[in-house]
Structure 1
Amino acid sequence: MTESERSVRIERVGAGRYVAHNPDGATLPIGGDGFSPVELLLAAIGSCTAIDTDVATTRRTEPDSFTITVSGDKVSDRESGNRMENLAVTFAVRFPEGEAGDAARAMLPRTVALSHDKLCTVSRTVERGTPVRTIIE
């Protein structure tokens, strides 16, 4: 087993508005006109498997279209707290006609399953229920 730390820094830029920064210098607005934290969670789940799947299938051919929709129900519960339930990742991927497209279509279910079962750190972490600790400096 190998471990490799990952991190982001989140900075408040206004009332209800934040910017996430990664170590490479990329930024992402959160709140206000940006993504909500729940939307970021859904995007992380979907994009993790999307990237794994895209890398594998585009070795055969470029897709005509490649869209992932991630949905779920936000539950507010006084006893057990807020959470997301019924998470679903739906792939709508179209490949061109022909031998290369057929090969990409044939491998799509296998690559999606492999990402979900082994490769996607995000959804695997959510499914395992990894504890989150908070620290105040």
Structure 2
Amino acid sequence: MTTSQRSVRIQRTAQGRYVAHNEQGATLEFGDGDDQFSPVELLLAAIGGCTAIDTDVATSRRTEPDEFTVTVTGDKVSERESGNRMENLEVRFAVRFPEGEQGDAARSMLPRTVALSHDKLCTVSRTVELGTPVRTVIE
């Protein structure tokens, strides 16, 4: 087993508006406004993005896709007793490769790479499915 710590820092920029910073210097704005990604949407993007990256890296070695779209959906459930959560999460791939030998090779490996990402490689969806506890600390 190997471990490597990852982190992001979140700063409030205004009421309901935040910026996440990673260690590489990238930033991502989010919040609760109509023109912002919500935290739930960021979760969906992380789930889909993780598997999309794994799949794209493997298949694009064969050929560049003509289309590569990943749509992630789920139902936000709010219950008094158990609190808010997401259910019925689904990651849907719409991937098209050009005709020919390289496209055929990429197409044939697509189901296997998506499954491998879901079952083993994607840290985000694996963490969600395993139900890793989250600890909060107030400094």
Q: Fold-level match, TM-score > 0.5? A: yes
Match of 1:24 in 2: 24
Aligned mates of 1:38, 1:53 — CA distance in 2: 23
User: Which contiguous aligned blocks of 4+ residues in structure 1 show a shift greater than 2 angstroms?
Assistant: none
Q: How many residues align?
A: 137
Aligned mates of 2:36, 2:6 — CA distance in 1: 22
Match of 1:42 in 2: 44
Cα deviation, 1:13-48, whole Å, max 9, x if unaligned, reads 001000000011100001132210000000000000
Cα deviation, 1:48-93, whole Å, max 9, x if unaligned, reads 0000000000110000010000000000000000000000000000
Aligned mates of 2:30, 2:58 — CA distance in 1: 31
| Structure 2 length-normalised TM | 0.98
- How do 1:61-72 residues align onto structure 2 when only pairs under 5 Å count? 61-72=63-74
User: Does 1:51 pair with 2:60?
Assistant: no
SS of aligned partner of 1:90 = strand
Match of 1:122 in 2: 124
Q: CA RMSD in A?
A: 0.5
Aligned mates of 1:126, 1:44 — CA distance in 2: 11
Among the aligned pairs, what percent are the same residue? Answer: 83
SS of aligned partner of 1:88 = strand
Match of 1:13 in 2: 13
Matching residue's letter, 1:28: L
Structure 1, unaligned stretches of length 5 or more?
none
User: Does 1:92 pair with 2:94?
Assistant: yes
Aligned mates of 2:82, 2:122 — CA distance in 1: 27
Match of 2:134 in 1: 132
SS of aligned partner of 1:82 = strand
Structure 2, unaligned stretches of length 5 or more?
none
Aligned mates of 1:81, 1:10 — CA distance in 2: 24
SS of aligned partner of 1:75 = strand
